[in-house]
Structure 1
Amino acid sequence: MNYTKITEQSSLHDNLEQLSTLDLLRKMNQEDIKVAHALTNVIPEIEKLVEALVKRFDKGGRLFYIGAGTSGRLGILDASEIPPTFGMPHDRVIGIIAGGDTAIRKAVEFAEDNTLQAWKDLEEFNINANDVLVGIAASGTTPYVLGGIKDAKGNGILTAGITNNPGSPLAEESDIPIALNVGPEFVTGSTRMKSGTSQKLALNMISTAFMIRVGRVKGNKMVDMQLTNTKLVDRGTRYLVEALNIEYKDAESALKKYGSVRAAIKNLKN
């Protein structure tokens, strides 16, 4: 396959060790500014993915992320934030990393090189044709991710690929390629930088739009968030004060009684 591996191209900046701290930070910021613009170019592909997720949601369809290293950690991060933010069960958005949970904190040698392991990991969740699999790999060549995408397609599962190399094997293999061209990294090949940032933005867009479209946001508020700490109880209380024009203490009491902003609004309006 003939394509340009942008993630391995030499940085646009050189002699970094000779720069002052201020110059390093300014130049990094100059590169980071390019990231959001790269997302603009793939909004149609992200839209297609979100619509596919919404279509499958009522059938019990789930969103799976697979990745290795930084990409895998970002998928797990996004998945882990869905239950507290939107009150969804933990088994509706699932992140899987090559090497298992150990790899979240510490690199597991050669885990990403196993082309068969991703499908084995996915089978533990009984992945099926109602689900959607998103592979994340800056290089677009990670064997673990490519193997999982190919096996999923072979089993009738819709796939998407988030990569920073347009035309890469992951982009070519996925049903919905999301190719984020952010250019060479500030430190050559260090895809934890712009590539990782662009992936995080894409994942934010995918999961947040998905949750909004399936009714987990009212107006612009997180009405189903889990009330797991004082800050969130206060936030939910203020939502109720605004929505129902009631006193703070009454709103707080109702929130604790009914367990969520949505439930409190429903019961107090009836």
Structure 2
Amino acid sequence: MWGAIALALPIFPTWAQDKPAATLESVHAPEEKLNLLFYTRMIRSADGQFRLDQSLVSNFKLNPWLRLELGLRHGERSGKFMAYDGYKVELQTKSFFKIVRFVARMSDKISDYPTPSYAESNYLLIAEGKHPVSHAFTVLGALGTVWSTHRDNTTDGLPDMKGAGDPYLTYKVGLRYRLDKGFLEATTGSYDVFNPYALDSPFVQLAFDHEISHRWTFYSYFRHQYDWHTGAALNEFLCLGARLHFFKE
């Protein structure tokens, strides 16, 4: 059923992915000062359990070199409305030579259900690159480092580096196909908008982005997260949302 939904997504004016940065590229596009992304994810685990979360992500220009991205997330599970919450703070550099940019992120997840409760902080440093291979196709790639801390029996949401383990790699590889008013994108990797995944539980994702108007873009994705190989499913995600753009007058 989920596979059929994923293949059907491009029919609808939606997309996703994880990246909440600006979507449509044009040398004639007006300068974007701020965008706000709202999206809902429906998640089904391998044991048939469902959960739902909502995210709000803002991305705005600080200066010609840097953008700031702030995010909030609220999650619900069956029988528990306040199951988990999260937030992130992220700095993004400009794209140097229109090829590579650098990202520094701190994200925190606070889970209160199921027990025991826990809090987890993640710190990421990532280089994200893109390279057009034709008028329609662009290759995407990213490589970075993650430091994580995990604290049991607490719902303290303050960032914490105490007890951080050894850093580990994170990555993303994808191919984007440009459409008249958006794009299709297939990616695989171990991080996205909020919290990173372990290298042994990455994901594959199909995303679709469509510009509805000068101000609005629909956003959606289907994601399959797995354990070591794609046949060992962990979670399946269906994401639907919209991005509101504000441009410099």
Decide: shared fold, TM above 0.5. no
Say which structure is richer in helix.
Answer: 1
- Over alpha carbons, which structure has the higher Rg? 1
Higher fraction of strand: 2
Q: TM-score interval w.r.t. the shorter chain?
A: under 0.3
TM-score, with length taken from structure 2: 0.26
